[in-house]
Amino acid sequence: MSTAETSAGPGRRLRLPFSPWHLVLVPLTLVLVAPLLWMVLTSLQTAAEANKFPPVLIPHHWRFANYVDAWHTAPFGTFFLNSALVTLVVVVSNLVVCSLAGYAFARVRFLGRKALFLTLMATLMVPFQVTMIPVFLIVKWFGDNVWSYLGINHLGALMLPNLATAFGIFFLRQFFQTVPVELEDAARVDGTSRIGVLFKIVLPLSMPAMSTLAALTILTSWNDFLWPLIVITSQDQMTVPLGLSYFQGAHSTDWPLLMAGNVMSLLPMLLVFVVAQRYFVQSVAGTGLKG
Amino acid sequence: MAEATVAQEGRRPGALRRLGRSESLTGWSLVGPGALLIGVFGLLPVLMSLKLSFQRSDLLTPDTPWVGTKNYRQLADDPRFADAIQHTIVYTALFVPGTMVVGLLVAAAMNRSVRFISVYRTAAYVTMAVSTISEGIIFLWLTDQDYGLVNAALNKVGISSQPFLSSPSQALYVIVAMTIWGWTGFAVIVYLAALQGVPVELHEAAAIDGASPFTRFRTITLPLLSPASLFLVVWLTINALQLFDEVWLTTKGGPLHATTVIVYYLWDQAFVQFNAGYAAAMAYALFVVIVLVTAVQFRLARKHVHYS
């Protein structure tokens, strides 16, 4: 490169102080997040402003009171608590149950292991729509005969069918198989039980896989809609997506109020996503490219 | 189930001797809780659903008389089911390639190390965390006939306001667009991971030989991305065939049934009309379709997918 080209002055190649790719990436990113930005902007408008056409892009005075109004118009606090409780139980149960089973399938040579594994994995192919009507009947049966908390229109009905997944078992089994077996053998020679080996040696080495499964389970459990729609009808048992959908139905033209409710509903998952992004990326990229 | 597996294993000579009794006890007690839960909520319902599809049931009364193949015959003659299949096919045919193209373009743009790249990537991924309901509400507002941002933009370039979700001829395409947006984050993650596995040396060598960036993309990058593309085709198709949430929220299957897709019709039959037997038959039809489509995709993939 000649010195003339780098010296300042008109008629020369434009040198940006940053990579020219930013000129592509900034507009591209803006387009991708535009729907979210517009949601936030609308949530701060007055009702009068939202009903102007063409729309007012930046609110003249930011009306944060929309959030207070939304919080009082629908029991968002209850929705959050319900979602948090369901998600917590489902995630903890999945981690425990799937790691026990995943470990057995990875390491223990028990009678019928292969057949059982294939049978369980076959359920991965079945779409939820095939099972949802019988699961509704089964959950109803549990509510009528075992414990009413597990029945229709109770939070237990949202937890019970999701306490373990074939995917979770498969995912952890794959990971456990990569843990060096010598570490376990040494401990077993010292008389540690299978369970002891799992909790003292294998699980501490499997934190990345456990976190990835946890991240994925949190997301699917929190955002699930069809199943809660089927089993829950009372507002005090609703999770966030279901409660939000009823809130939308009741205030379908009050856009600033709706968007304030929408932003509130989105915040917990956005926060979880940004904080644990690494694990979400792993869960998608990992299953996508190896599976 | 347990007895069947015992018999099967037992047929192999020495199998029982090789497997210590205590190992079997340990193994079964470890898999027990998971196997029981998946058995009750994953396997048993598959059989119950099959039985239900030959019965009449309103989900409430315990009386479920056998009706033979009536539900399946009714399915074949139901014009609304035929429409639902057609809407689902149109939706899938647009949504799957649409999401892949958008995902690939965004991933290709973001596959470089410039400053703030992690901020750009997070912004692209983040649609993955947005629930289908939030997404639906946002797009209802964006495409509102009277006050929507999209119509304001169209007016700016001289196009009159469109009815979008309240138009039978446009609503399905709006749902295609909103779900593509919702799945962009997912597709970008898959393609970015794959793009990062494309060796730079291949591109450099081809560039020295005079290949243009477009030729290099077509002959080097795309073939190396084919496993990721196969995964996306299969995964997005399975999800597209099960479209429900956005339809329920934005159009309730309308206007004039224009957005009634298979799962929406199925849900309506099962939990609104209480024709659970008919809905179960529909679910089995969907199941068969998904299995067939996936099998065809994997068969086609043999020719076009390259594992390096």
Dump pLDDT digits (tens) for A259-275. Answer: 999 999 999 999 999 99
Q: Do B109 and A265 touch (CB under 8 A)?
A: no
Assess whether pLDDT exceeds 80 at residue A237.
Answer: yes
> Which residues neighbour B285 within 8 Å (Cβ) at sequence distance 6 or greater?
B72, B75
Chain B touched by A10 (CB under 8 Å): no
Give residue-wise pLDDT tens across range A171-205: 999 999 988 888 888 888 888 888 888 998 899 99
Cα A172 versus chain centre, distance: 18
Whether the CB-CB separation of A194 and A202 falls below 8 Å is answered with no
CB contacts < 8 A, A to B, total 304
Looking at the complex, report in whole angstroms how far the Cα of residue B45 sits from the nearest Cα belonging to chain A.
5
Q: Is the peptide bond before B255 cis (omega within 30 degrees of 0)?
A: yes
**Which A-chain residues 200-229 have CB contacts (< 8 A) with chain B?**
219, 222-223, 225-226, 229
**pLDDT of res. A287:** 64
Assess whether pLDDT exceeds 70 at residue A240.
Answer: yes
Chain A touched by B244 (CB under 8 Å): yes
| Residue in B with minimal Cα distance to A98 | B34
3-state secondary structure (DSSP) of residue B65:
coil
Give residue-wise pLDDT tens across range A102-113: 999 999 989 999
Looking at the complex, report in whole angstroms how far the Cα of residue B149 sits from the nearest Cα belonging to chain A.
7
Q: Which residues of B103-131 are buried (b: 16+ CB within 10 A; e: fewer)?
A: bbebbbbbbeeeeebeebbbbbbbbbbbb
Task: At A192, list the tokens.
Answer: 């540690």
**pLDDT of res. A288:** 54
Assess whether pLDDT exceeds 80 at residue A90.
Answer: yes
* Res. A256 pLDDT band, cuts 50 70 90: very high
Which residue, chain included where needed, has tokens 């999800």? B239
**pLDDT of res. B94:** 98
**pLDDT of res. B280:** 96
Chain A touched by B123 (CB under 8 Å): yes
* Res. A60 pLDDT band, cuts 50 70 90: confident
The one-letter code for the residue type at A182 is: E
**Which B-chain residues 275-304 have CB contacts (< 8 A) with chain A?**
276, 279-280, 283-284, 286-287, 290-291, 294
**Separation between Cα atoms, residue A53 and residue A76, nearest integer Å:** 30
* Res. A4 pLDDT band, cuts 50 70 90: very low
**Separation between Cα atoms, residue A212 and residue B22, nearest integer Å:** 32
| Residue in B with minimal Cα distance to A119 | B43
Q: Do A241 and B244 touch (CB under 8 A)?
A: no
Looking at the complex, report in whole angstroms how far the Cα of residue B171 sits from the nearest Cα belonging to chain A.
18
3-state secondary structure (DSSP) of residue B144:
coil
Report, as an integer, the average pLDDT of A103-127.
92
Looking at the complex, report in whole angstroms how far the Cα of residue A91 sits from the nearest Cα belonging to chain B.
14
Which of A127, A245, A259 lies closest to B287 in CB terms? A127
To probe the interface with B, which of A130, A247, A271 has the most B CB atoms within 10 Å?
A130
Burial (Cβ within 10 Å: 0-12, 13-18, ≥19) of residue B77: exposed
**ipTM entry:** 0.89
Which residue, chain included where needed, has tokens 């299957």? B253
Q: Do A25 and B6 touch (CB under 8 A)?
A: no
**Separation between Cα atoms, residue B186 and residue B257, nearest integer Å:** 30
Chain A touched by B24 (CB under 8 Å): yes
The one-letter code for the residue type at B274 is: F
**pLDDT of res. A9:** 46
| Residue in A with minimal Cα distance to B50 | A130
Residues in chain A within 8 Å Cβ distance of B141:
38-39, 42, 255, 258-259
**pLDDT of res. B263:** 95
Chain A touched by B48 (CB under 8 Å): yes
The pLDDT profile of chain B, 308 residues, written as one tens digit per residue, is 344 444 444 444 444 444 456 788 889 999 999 999 999 999 999 999 999 999 999 988 888 899 999 999 999 999 999 999 999 999 999 999 999 999 999 999 999 888 899 999 999 999 999 999 999 999 999 999 999 999 999 999 999 999 999 999 999 999 999 999 999 999 999 999 999 888 888 888 998 988 888 898 888 888 889 889 999 999 999 999 999 999 999 999 989 999 999 999 999 999 999 999 999 999 999 999 889 998 999 898 887 787 75
Q: Do A112 and B287 touch (CB under 8 A)?
A: no
Chain B touched by A15 (CB under 8 Å): no
Q: Do B122 and A25 touch (CB under 8 A)?
A: no
Kindly list the distances between the CA atom of residue B8 and the CA atoms of B1, B13, B38, B141, in Å, as whole numbers in the listed order: 11, 11, 21, 59
Kindly list the distances between the CA atom of residue A193 and the CA atoms of A180, A190, A231, B140, in Å, as whole numbers in the listed order: 17, 9, 41, 57
Q: Do B52 and A265 touch (CB under 8 A)?
A: no
Kindly tell me the sign of the dihedral angle through the C-alpha atoms of A33, A39, A45, A51. Answer: positive
Q: How much of chain A, in percent, has pLDDT values that exceed 70?
A: 93
